[in-house]
A and B are shown apart, each in its own frame.
Chain A
Amino acid sequence: MSASGAVMAPVVKSSAILEVRDLRTHFVGETGSVKAVDGVSFSVKRGRVLGLVGESGSGKSVTGFSIIGLVDPPGRIVGGQVIFDGRDLTRVTREEMRGLRGRRIAMIFQDPMMTLNPVLRIDTQLIEAIRAHADVSQAQARAWARDALGMVGIPSPEERLHAYPHQFSGGMRQRVVIAIALLHKPDFIIADEPTTALDVTIQAQILAEVQKLVAESDTALIWITHDLAVVSRLADDIAVMYAGRIVEAGPVAEVLDRPLHPYTAGLIGSVPSRNRRGERLQQIPGMMPSMLHLPKGCAFRTRCARADAACAADVPLLPVGDREYRCFHPLIEVPVTEMPA
């Protein structure tokens, strides 16, 4: 298996419901070309949650959009594959993709109003989503919609069906969006920061629902976020992105307890609860370089205390056990596995 292979050990690769291989998405503009996603690979199995973590500009959202085929010009998927159920999603026709989206693949966005139409009632939207992929009568669709709302914990679903999106609170709206995503029991869901804008108590409610639903329906979930605390409790595996590349990946407890990459360690250290009260927080110096002018080699080296001349060379993603890391000077000494060709 090459270095850019799946997170899971190669032998069980066929049980992954989604496999992303060396995905590259570029945005070509006047001022230059932005490699928003630059060779990203991972896989997700049924019933497992992958936390895709990064800060703004890391490419995590664009990765999500690329998988589900929502990248518009000037952005383009320029390389790699997204293998789902034996098919490469980057090469299917728009018709096929539309047939898959909403039925077998679903996406949840940060702003529920990206999914919900403000001038249509909730029942209209749910029924439309149902009948787009299933041949059922109006009455059957309605019953289906009502059950879906109940399943995400919306009280009195029968009455709420008649409401408009603006009559729901932010948390409720997001639940409706999750209900829509789950209508056809998709094989996997991509969630792009869906709880970031919500209050902590509401976020906790929604995360509780999501946890329950994922366990019950065996759906694979990719949870895109910058919030390490949420990922630590929700996800099984984690992949950390920086400047369009995955810099570290592996089981979430291991990565967060014993990070290999200095950036991961820096992120963990920045969280206030990881520091002694009243003292200066550990901070990563500098800021993310502009994607138009990335440094050669390791993109993080301009901010890394461990960087040296060797880091100016291209850094491959190296496997160790069931983890991966992209660094010449990892925080923990790892046995050098055979270098890939």
Chain B
Amino acid sequence: MMPEAGTSEVPPLIDLKSVSRQFGRHPDFAARMAIALKLATPVPMLRAVDQVDLAVRKGEVLGLVGESGCGKSTLGRIAAGILPPSQGSVLWRGQDLAQLPRAARREARLRVQMIFQNPYASLNPRRSAGDIVGEAPRIHKLIAGDPAAFIDEQFRRAGLDPALKRRYPHQFSGGQRQRIGIARALAVRPDFIICDEAVAALDVSVQAQILNLFMDLRASLNLTYLFISHDLGVVQHISDRVAIMYLGRIVEEAPTDEIFARANHPYSQALLAEMPRIETTKRHFTAVKGEVPSPLAPPAGCHFHPRCPHAFARCRVEAPPLKTIAAGHKSACHLNDTAVV
């Protein structure tokens, strides 16, 4: 399914403009007194997402890759409308969600749905599967006709036997629970689905089934995906484009083939080198040095410079902007400036 040819008149489905998100509480009165009296240290703010620009066009699958602490889950939740950005705006079909009137905003909300990572925590343990799937369509009056038949249809579409709809979540396996979550999301007829590590907690054989389901649904329902994952193999398989995040920033963005063949950013290169593959020639593990820094105290300048084999003076001071280095290929690295084009 090829994404629509992007003319400048058709806005992307979701457009995140300069989105940032911090976590942390402004100290209340008592805490401020304590800090002023030097009895307590101020708790640092967590910069989960740092001025991210990301656009997803209709019909495409954008893979968002990064390791833990990079902010990809937070970004996903901002795109889904579950979490508001601290700064920046989220545009749905070109319109700023925050400016829309209540009814229109709710409409837009329903068009963007999310599939979660944890198959155990993402379903209400006290509701039956059928209730879980049918609740939102019922509340928003989206069911025309027999509600039971509607729920059966949703189950079938997600690969579940409708006879199971009276069972409770604890009676399903992990893969089946993910299917329930998918049925729940699809029941409100979304255009855009954000998969937040949706297959990470599943066994390999179940993962294959769910990924195939995603691909089938994409074709049959004309869906657009933001696929968040730390698993490069999965991302490579399912995505049209890939964006790589590190400590709250996007460091590289390119079509899948391009990024896997010609990764530009040193972090991307390191990540790709470690991509798990079944290799029957035994290879020694070599690894990029150092630990991922804590998001509470990210390094100044380019966040990756302490671990980067090519870091130089400028990297320590100035954060490199995300610049286009080839058609559709953006990278945030000072090395690109110094390279001879």
Contacts and interface: CB of A to CB of B under 8 A. Distances in A.
Interface of A: 55-56, 169-172, 199-205, 207-208, 211, 226-230, 232-234, 252-253, 256-257, 266-275, 277-278, 280-284, 287-288
A197 to B, nearest CB: 9
Given A201-B271, A270-B208, A208 B278 contact: no
Interface residues of B, number: 44
Contacts of B38: none
A226 B203 contact: yes
A200 B67 CA distance: 7
Contact of B236 (A205, A226, A272): A272
A169 B291 contact: yes
B207 A270 contact: yes
A257 B279 CA distance: 9
A270 B204 contact: yes
B291 A171 contact: yes
Q: Classify the secondary structure of A's interface with B.
A: helix
Contacts of A199: 67-68, 230, 292
A226 B204 CA distance: 8
B270 A201 contact: yes
Contacts of B204: 55, 226, 228, 267, 270-271
B274 A201 contact: yes
B234 interface: yes
Interface stretch (B14-22, B147-155, B170-178, B318-326): B170-178
B284 interface: yes
A54 to B, nearest CB: 9
Interface of B: 67-68, 173-176, 203-209, 211-212, 215-216, 230, 232-234, 236-238, 256, 270-271, 274-288, 291-292
Contacts, number: 128
Q: Of A202, A267, A269, which is in contact with the most chain B CB atoms at under 10 Å from its CB? A: A202
A170 B68 CA distance: 11
Nearest to B203: A55
A55 B209 CA distance: 14
Given A170-B68, A211-B284, A272-B211, 12 more contacts: A55-B206, A171-B291, A200-B271, A200-B275, A202-B291, A229-B279, A234-B285, A253-B282, A256-B280, A277-B256, A283-B205, A287-B206
B276 A229 contact: yes
A275 B237 contact: yes
A280 B67 contact: no
A200 B234 CA distance: 13
Q: Of A171, A211, A277, which is in contact with the most chain B CB atoms at under 10 Å from its CB? A: A277
Contacts of B276: 200, 227, 229-230, 273
Given A201-B287, A208-B284, A271 B274 contact: no
Contact of A284 (B176, B205, B291): B205
Nearest to A253: B280
B274 A204 contact: yes
Give 10 closest A-B pairs by Cβ, nearest first: A229-B276, A272-B237, A270-B208, A55-B203, A208-B285, A199-B67, A204-B287, A205-B287, A253-B280, A283-B208
A232 B278 CA distance: 6
A70 B117 CA distance: 30
Contacts of A252: 280
Contacts of B212: 280-281, 283
A301 B276 CA distance: 30
A273 B278 contact: yes
Contacts of B274: 200-201, 203-204
Given A55-B203, A205-B287, A208-B286, A271 B211 contact: no
B129 to A, nearest CB: 16
B204 to A, nearest CB: 5
B280 A232 contact: yes
Contacts of B282: 232-233, 253
A234 B276 CA distance: 12
B243 to A, nearest CB: 17
Contact of B285 (A170, A211, A266, A271): A211
A284 B270 contact: no
Contact of B209 (A170, A271, A273, A283): A283
A273 B236 contact: yes
Contacts of B233: 229, 271-273
Nearest to A227: B276
A270 B202 CA distance: 12
Nearest to A49: B282
Nearest to A254: B280
A280 B209 CA distance: 9
B287 A273 contact: no
Given A56-B203, A169-B292, A199-B67, A204 B286 contact: yes
